[in-house]
Copies of this chain bind each other. A is one copy, B any other.
Amino acid sequence: MNTQESGFFTEENSADVVIARNAGTEDARLKEVMEVLTRHLHAAVKEIEPTQEEWFKAIMFLTDTGHMCNEWRQEYILLSDVLGVSMLVDAINNRKPSGASESTVLGPFHVDGAPELPLGSNICLDQKGEPMLVRGRILDTDGNPIAGAKIDVWQANDEGFYDVQQKGIQPDFNLRGVFRSDAEGGYWFRGVKPKFYPIPDDGPVGKLLGALGRHPYRPAHLHYIISADGFETLTTHIFDPDDPYIASDAVFGVKESLMAEFVPVDDPARIDAAGFDGPFLEVAHDFVLARP
């Protein structure tokens, strides 16, 4: 009996027969992955007991989701996002020691090659929106400052759009910048308060969200990738706790520890010190990097 012979298929033994058929898989990891997937897939089908029409609807949903994907649009990543799978994979790959800052999803809007800027620079190039000063420190898990950490930040504008979504409307590299922490681990830069925005919802995944009674919005946030020699790179956001969608992020990216208050400041001395010409919002948030 060769490895492809595995007994005839019945409703009862279905997963075992399929797994046995894959016994000749050379790649041990692929074999393991397919065994787990086959077991859960067959268990789910047995629980659901789909009709032929339901099964075909699922086939067509998967087909349509594939057809929606092109060079600019990745509908399968959106599906992974709204099912919580992207955040689960992020969590599994970024388990942090106690005290280290938590990660969240990278998202599709990071751009390589954003300009490296002096601390305090204003990354809002078109003066649109509510001025904001963001500041904090980069620390290790013992509370010691990390000098020279690279802080790559990007954010949506006051209408919820990234520069790459509004070429020709926003300046290139609007609301993006790379900073280095100072000798005390400190960082600060200026921008504008970001706004919540919807994930693209004109495809099969948007239709699914609608059928599930869900909205497509992500609460307002700032993106960070923070890296330093000898530490694990941290990819995360900070969130506005007062955002209307803070408790219902369409992609499940919010964590309690990633909240940052947006505090109004109208003291003229502080306005002057921050380099603004009127009231602004101050967002203070420290990040703690883990050693590998």
Residues A63 and B66 in contact, CB atoms below 8 Å apart? yes
A184 at the interface (CB under 8 A from B): no
Shortest CB–CB separation between residue A125 and chain B, in angstroms? Answer: 31
B-contact bits for A93-126, CB 8 A (1 contact / 0 none): 1010000000000000000000000000000000
A14 at the interface (CB under 8 A from B): yes
Residues A84 and B38 in contact, CB atoms below 8 Å apart? yes
| With A14-B87, A41-B83, A44-B40 as contacts: A92 and B4 at CB distance below 8 Å | no
| With A9-B252, A69-B67 as contacts: A89 and B43 at CB distance below 8 Å | no
CA distance A123 to B41 in the complex (A): 40
A88 at the interface (CB under 8 A from B): yes
Residues B83 and A38 in contact, CB atoms below 8 Å apart? yes
Residues A213 and B25 in contact, CB atoms below 8 Å apart? yes
Residues B4 and A214 in contact, CB atoms below 8 Å apart? yes
A199 at the interface (CB under 8 A from B): no
CA distance A32 to B54 in the complex (A): 13
A225 at the interface (CB under 8 A from B): no
CA distance A113 to B7 in the complex (A): 36
By secondary structure, the A interface counts as: helix
| With A74-B59, A77-B59, A88-B42 as contacts: A21 and B248 at CB distance below 8 Å | yes
Residues B84 and A18 in contact, CB atoms below 8 Å apart? yes
B41, B43, B84, B247: the one contacting A14 at CB < 8 Å is B84
B33, B80, B84: the one contacting A9 at CB < 8 Å is B84
A278 at the interface (CB under 8 A from B): no
A135 / chain B contacts, CB cutoff of 8 Å:
none
A45 at the interface (CB under 8 A from B): yes
Residue from the set A27, A84, A211 with the largest chain B CB neighbour count within 10 Å:
A84
A91 at the interface (CB under 8 A from B): yes
A265 at the interface (CB under 8 A from B): no
CA distance A245 to B26 in the complex (A): 21
CA distance A95 to B213 in the complex (A): 35
Chain A positions near chain B (C-beta within 8 angstroms): 1-6, 8-11, 14-15, 17-18, 21-27, 30-34, 36-52, 54-55, 59, 62-67, 69, 74, 76-77, 80, 83-93, 95, 211-215, 247-248, 252-256
Give 27 A-B contacts (CB < 8 Å), ordered by A residue: A4-B213, A8-B256, A9-B87, A11-B88, A11-B95, A17-B84, A21-B214, A21-B248, A21-B252, A23-B213, A24-B214, A25-B213, A30-B211, A33-B54, A34-B212, A38-B83, A40-B43, A40-B47, A42-B85, A45-B85, A45-B89, A46-B92, A52-B90, A62-B62, A65-B66, A66-B69, A67-B69
